[in-house]
Structure 1
C-alpha cells in the first residue's frame, strides 16, 4: 500500500496511526504546504499564532480523510494535497474563532492562542486562514470542489451561531443538537471525504457514499467528544474535563438528562445552565444525575448507531485496504470512551 512496509503498519496502535503510516508521504507534502501558506511577509504574528495551534500535536484527522478517500478512489495527481491543506486551514480557523467565543483557556493540551495573545489576534488570524483556504481551493481548478468546501464553511458558521442561541436553552432537544453538530463538526468531515472522491473522478453514487461516511463519522465523533467531557482523560479530549458543563453547553448527555428530569433536577439545571449560577460540587451532582438517567450510555448508543451508518456507507465503495482502515476508524471513534 503505497510502499509502506508491514512492520510499520504492525507498530501502528490505532486506525488513525495506521492512516498516518500509509499516508506519510502525502501528509509530509501537506505539512510542507501548510507551513508555506501560513507564512506572512508583513504580519509575523500570523505564523506565530497559526504555528502555536497547528504544531500543537493535532492528529490531522480531517486532512487525512481527504488524502485517504482520494487514494482509495484511485487518484494519482497532486491536488489532493492542496485540498487536505485547505481542510486543515478551515478547521484551524474555526478552532481559533471557537476559543474566542467559548472564552477557552486550553486547546490540545496547551494554552489557547487567545490566552497567549488576545482575542483580536485569534479572530483575525482565523480570518487569514479562511482566506488562504479559499486560495488553495481555487488552485485545483474545480468549481465542484469550491462549491463543496465553500458550502461547508458557511454551514460550520451557521452551526456555531445556532449553538449560541441553543446551548443554554433547556428547551433545546436532540433534533436541534443534531443540527448544531452536523453544522459545526460533521460538515467538514463530510466535505473532507466528498472532495477526495470528486478530485479522483469517482461516480456520483461513490461521492454520495463518501459524503455519507464523513457526515456519520463526524456526528459520532462529536457525540463521543461530548460524552468524554463528563469523564474522559484531559489528554484525550485536549481540554479540561467538565469544560462543557462550566460553559453551560447543552450537549447530548445533558439533553437526555433534562428530558427525564424530576422537578428538583430541572430546578438544578435551570440554575447551573440557564442562570449560570454554578457552585462547588455542581459538576459532581450533574454527573450523578446523568448516571441516574443513563444519559451517558444512551448517548453512546446513539454514537454507535452513527458509526454503523458510516460503515454501511463504505460498503458501497470499492474494496481497498484504505476502506478497511476507514471502517476501523469509525469503530475506534466510539472505543475512545472505554
Structure 2
C-alpha cells in the first residue's frame, strides 16, 4: 500500500505551498550561511510533521496562512534542534547525508542552528496567535528538557521504563503532539478538540518511537543502521529495559549499566541483544506499541468526520506502525 500518497492526497496543494514557504525561509544570499542552508534544504524528508499539521487543520476547519506559518515555524524549530543535536552527539551523518558539523565545523553548525531557530520564531510570529507562539516556545523548551533528561539518565543506576517514556514524550512524542495541537488551533478548533488532537499526537509519537527502537534489534540494510546501534550510543530502549528488569539475570543488568556508562563492548552488546530477544523484550515492546496505536485510533474513530481526511490520518497511523525503516 502506498501510504504516503494516501496521507498526502487531501492536502497536496497546501503541502506544495508549505514546501515553497519552507525553502524560502531556508535561503540566504551570504556565501557561508547560504551554502549551509542549502545543504540542509537538500535533505528534505517525507514531510510527515507538516502533513500532520495540515491534515489536523483541515479536519477541524480550513488550512489558512496561520496554519502554514505555524507549520514552517515548527519544522524550522525541529530542523534547528537536529543541527544542534548532531553537534552534541558528534554525529557525522543525518538522513544519509553529511551533517552540518561534519561538512563545516561545530562553530558554524551551532550558529546556523541559532539562525534557523530565530527564523522559526519570525515565522510563528506571523500567525498572530499568542497561543501558537506560546506553544512553539514551550515545545523548544520541552525538546531541550528531553535531551538533558536523556543525558542525566546515563548516570543513574536504575533502569527505568518510566524514565524511558518520559524521555520519548519530551523528544519524539512532543513534536507529533505539537503538530496535531497547533494544526487544530490554527483552524479554530475548540479547546476540547485541541486537547484531543494533542493526545492523539502524543500517542502517535510514542508508537513511532517504539517502532524505531524495535528496528535496532535487527540488522537490516533497509533500516540503515547496525544491530545494537542505540546501545553503542549509551541508550537503553524499551525491549532491553523490559528484558533486564524481568529476566532475572544480574549479569545482564550489569551489562545494561555498562551501556549507560558507555563502557560496553560490541560483543557484550550482542549478548544483550540476544538476551532481549530470548526474554520476550521485542514482544513486550510490540504489545505496548499496539496499545498506544489503539489509543490514537480512538481519536480517528470519534473526531474525524471528513472521509478523505479520515483515510489520510488512518494511513498515517498505520504507516507509523507498519513501516520498515
The normalised TM-score by structure 1 is 0.88
Which residue in 2 is equivalent to 1:158? 145
Q: CA deviation at 1:232?
A: 5.8
1:35-76 C-alpha deviation (Å, 9 max, x unpaired): 21112344x333433333342241111111111111222215
Change in Cα spacing, 1:143 to 1:65, as seen in structure 2 (3 Å) is same
Partner Cα separation in structure 2 for residue 240 and residue 117 of structure 1: 26
Cα deviation per residue 1:277-321 (whole Å; 9 max; x = unaligned)?
A: 333433322210111111111111111111111111223314112
Question: Which residue of the other structure, out of 16, 39, 45, is the alignment partner of 1:28?
Answer: 16
Question: How far apart are residue 98 of structure 1 and its match?
Answer: 1.6
- Quote the residue 2:280 is aligned against: 294
> Once the 2 structures are TM-superposed, how far is the Cα of residue 223 of structure 1 from its aligned partner?
1.3
Quote the residue 1:136 is aligned against.
123
Match of 1:106 among 68, 71, 93: 93
Contact 2:240 2:273 in 1 (8 A): no
Instruction: Provide the rounded CA distance (Å) in 2 between the counterparts of 1:116 and 1:280.
Output: 28
Q: 1:248 offset after TM fit, Å?
A: 1.0
Give the Cα separation in 1 of the matches to 2:252 and 2:278.
Answer: 11
Contact 2:59 2:309 in 1 (8 A): yes
Q: 1:300 to 1:146 in 2, by over 3 A?
A: same
Once residues 243 and 47 of structure 1 are traced to their aligned partners in structure 2, the CA distance between those partners, rounded to angstroms, is 33
Work out whether 1:75 is the aligned partner of 2:62. Answer: yes
Q: Does the aligned pair in 1 maintain the 2:217–2:273 contact within 8 Å?
A: yes
Offset of residue 332 of structure 1: 2.2
CA contact (8 A) 2:26 2:41 kept: no
RMSD: 2.1
Q: How does 1:1-338 map to 2 (within 5 A)?
A: 13-42=1-30, 44-167=31-154, 169-231=156-218, 233-236=220-223, 239-261=225-247, 262-271=249-258, 273-320=259-306, 321-336=308-323
The verdict on how the C-alpha distance between 1:274 and 1:188 changes in structure 2, with shifts beyond 3 A counting, is closer
Report if aligned partners of 1:168, 1:250 keep a CA contact under 8 Å in 2.
Answer: no
Give distance in 1, aligned partners of 2:219 and 2:108.
31
Whole-angstrom distance in 2 between the partners of 1:70 and 1:124: 33
CA contact (8 A) 2:7 2:311 kept: no
The alpha carbon displacement at 1:209 in A equals: 1.4
Following superposition, the deviation at residue 147 of structure 1 comes to 1.3
Task: Output the TM-score relative to the length of structure 2.
Answer: 0.92
Figure out how many residues of one structure are paired with residues of the other and give that number: 323
Query: Offset of 1:215 from its aligned partner?
Result: 0.9
Whole-angstrom CA distance in 2 between matches of 1:310 and 1:167: 31
Mapped to 2, the partners of 1:217 and 1:47 lie a distance apart of 35
Check conservation: 1:152, 1:188, Cα contact below 8 A. yes
Contact 1:72 1:322 in 2 (8 A): yes
Which ranges in structure 1 are unaligned for 5 or more consecutive residues?
1-12
Closer, same or farther in 2 for the Cα pair 1:287/1:337, shift >3 Å? farther
Q: Give distance in 2, aligned partners of 1:119 and 1:235.
A: 30
TM-superposed deviation, 1:126: 1.4
How far is 1:202 from its partner? 1.2
Instruction: Pick closer, same or farther for the CA change 1:254–1:114 going to 2, 3 Å.
Output: farther
Question: CA 1:51 to 1:245, structure 2 compared with 1: closer, same or farther past 3 Å?
Answer: farther
Query: 323-332 vs 283-292, which deviates more?
Result: 323-332
Q: CA deviation at 1:239?
A: 4.8
